[in-house]
Amino acid sequence: MSEKILITGGSGLVGTALSKAYKSTSEEITLVTSSHYDLTQQLDVNFMFANHKPTKVIHAAAKVGGLGSNMKYKGGYLYKNLMMNTNVIDQANVWGVKRLVAFLTTCAFPAEVEYPLDHTKIHLGEPHESNFGYAHAKRMAEVQIRAYREQYGVKYSCVIPTNIYGPNDNFSLEHGHVVPMLIHKLYKAQRDGTDFNVWGTGKPLREFIFAQDVAELTKWVLHNYDGEDPLILSTSDEISIEHLVDLLVKEFKFTGKVKFDRSKPDGQYRKPSDNSLIKSLVPAFKFTPIEEGIKQTVEWFKENYDKARR
Ligand code: NAP
Ligand code: GFB
């Protein structure tokens, strides 16, 4: 019997990359967004499963944002993500969904824990103060899946990506993550001949993974992995925000002034992750180099400036 795959968050950074990842397959794929169903509402989620009756689900939908947005709206990040995850994972079980993959994030890990981060450390301490609302909501998805695997025998799994970037990201100057926000700011600085303002000291370290890589790996997980250990999706290559800025300035051939605004937060200093599990499962996978990923993302933004989320 052919699979019916439902992908929540279908209009997002990961959702659109998943749509591309499934282009060449004969699988029956349905992408949904908040315009179809509000996943914070149990009745909507019930209708969604009744209407589509999927056999497999990739639950990518979430209220997602960068450091500034997370610091400002912790209650909203907690509530909306708790409700979405609780509803989708519960209703998937009610409707007999065989396989489901849900998304955590490396920023859900404890702020103070022995590095590198691995799946055994998710609950060993408080998350970073800057985004504890979102982080706790994400952690509860892991708890719910563990509880449902034990009680109902479902083979649901979690993936834990590091900072994701790529085409069709959210380039909003209030809610964006660092890569899309800096791309948007640099685009305007070059267009208007103004300074390029970067938050913080530039010293924090981040691991960036290209959205298409996340999509290909998540698709592999859905069809090949029913283990209980959450899988970190990471290149395990840390770069400083300063280095990221240099890559972007080079890509834009920007000759204006770069200013680091220390009145803005640095957030968590680093969150180095252990990707040995996914590498052992998919040893031949090649991550997109950051230079190539940045090039594709900047080109996409310039070509789609009018329609991009900004
Ligand atoms: P995104 O670009 O912001 O997309 C979010 C998606 O969720 C959109 O399709 C959005 O639909 C949908 N959504 C939001 N609220 C909804 C609601 N109430 N009901 C139904 N759908 C709703 O996010 P992303 O970057 O693709 O993230 C995908 C997953 O990866 C998330 O679970 C996120 O936590 C996780 N993740 C992201 C990162 C990262 O750096 N981006 C890192 C680690 C993990 P609309 O467009 O209609 O609002
Ligand atoms: O992606 P980001 O906003 O969030 O990156 P996190 C924040 C880092 O980039 C901080 C620096 O060190 C900032 O000082 N930065 C420099 C900037 N300029 C800018 C700028 O213009 N905009 C932004 N946003 N940052 C996120 C979580 O943490 O990690 C999310 O908040 C998500 O929930 C994501 O889980 C994976 O990496 O600090």
Tens digit of each residue's pLDDT (9 = 90 or more) over 185-217: 999 999 999 999 999 999 999 999 999 999 999
Ligand 1 atom with least separation from CA of 177:
40
Report angle CA 255, 251, 238 to the nearest 5 degrees: 115
- Residue 64: nearest ligand to its CA? 1
- Residue with the two structure tokens 């209407």: 51
Q: What are the pLDDT digits (tens) for 261-291?
A: 999 999 999 999 999 999 999 999 999 999 9
Residue nearest to atom 29 of ligand 1 (CA): 60
| pLDDT higher than 80, residue 302 | yes
CB 207 within 8 A of CB 94: no
DSSP code of residue 114: P
Predicted confidence band at 128 (pLDDT cuts at 50, 70, 90)? very high
Q: Is 62 in the pocket of ligand 1 (CB under 6 A)?
A: yes
**Whether the predicted pLDDT of 135 surpasses 80:** yes
Contact in structure between 212 and 92 (CB atoms under 8 Å): no
Please, what is the average pLDDT of the chain?
Answer: 97
pLDDT given at position 134: 98
Sorting pLDDT into bands at 50, 70 and 90, what band is 1? low
| Ligand 2 atom, smallest distance to 134 CA | 33
Distance, in Å, from the CA atom of 24 to the CA atom of 93, rounded to the nearest integer, reads 29
Reported confidence tier of residue 113, pLDDT bands at 50, 70, 90: very high
Q: Is 134 a catalytic residue?
A: yes
Enter the pTM of the model.
0.98
Given this model, what pLDDT does residue 24 score?
81
- Assign 26 a pLDDT band (cuts: 50, 70, 90): confident
Active-site hit among 134, 148, 156, 187:
134
163-165 and 205-210 strand pairing: parallel
Residues with CB under 6 A from ligand 2: 66-68, 70, 105, 107, 131, 134, 163, 176-178, 181-182, 185, 198-200, 204, 206, 241, 265-268
